[in-house]
């Protein structure tokens, strides 16, 4: 596959929502542990998400989805998400 075809394939996967990026297992476990703690504050969870760029990008993307953002106002930060 040549470079333009590879980019087209990636773009097609992204538009279908099929493109996935691996996140750090350690970061995901830390976030899961924090969210399971009843004393976890939103700021602490947001800092854990922000520490992992891929997790942060995915969080903002999900927050902008029709399922979670019915107002249509753009969410541009983890804190707002």
Query: Is residue 7, in this structure, part of any structural domain at all?
Result: no
Structural domain tally of the chain?
1
Query: Is residue 11, in this structure, part of any structural domain at all?
Result: no
Query: Is residue 4, in this structure, part of any structural domain at all?
Result: no
Range of the domain at 43: 23-81
This prediction's pTM: 0.63
pLDDT for 11-59, tens place per residue? Answer: 777 778 776 666 677 888 888 899 999 998 889 999 999 998 888 888 8
What's the confidence (pLDDT) of residue 22?
62
Query: Is residue 43, in this structure, part of any structural domain at all?
Result: yes
Query: Is residue 3, in this structure, part of any structural domain at all?
Result: no
Q: What's the mean pLDDT in 60-71?
A: 90
Residue 21 · residue 53 · CB < 8 Å:
no
The two structure tokens encoding residue 65 = 């989805």
Query: Is residue 40, in this structure, part of any structural domain at all?
Result: yes
H or E segment and range at residue 49: helix 42-50
What's the confidence (pLDDT) of residue 23?
64
């Amino acid at each position: 596959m040549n470079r333009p075809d590879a980019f087209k394939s990636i773009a097609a996967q992204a538009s279908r929502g099929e493109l996935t990026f691996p996140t750090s297992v350690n970061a995901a476990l830390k976030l899961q542990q924090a969210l399971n703690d009843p004393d976890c504050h939103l700021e602490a969870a947001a800092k854990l998400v922000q520490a992992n760029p891929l997790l942060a990008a995915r969080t903002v993307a999900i927050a902008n989805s029709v399922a979670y953002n019915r107002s249509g106002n753009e969410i541009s930060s983890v804190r707002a998400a």
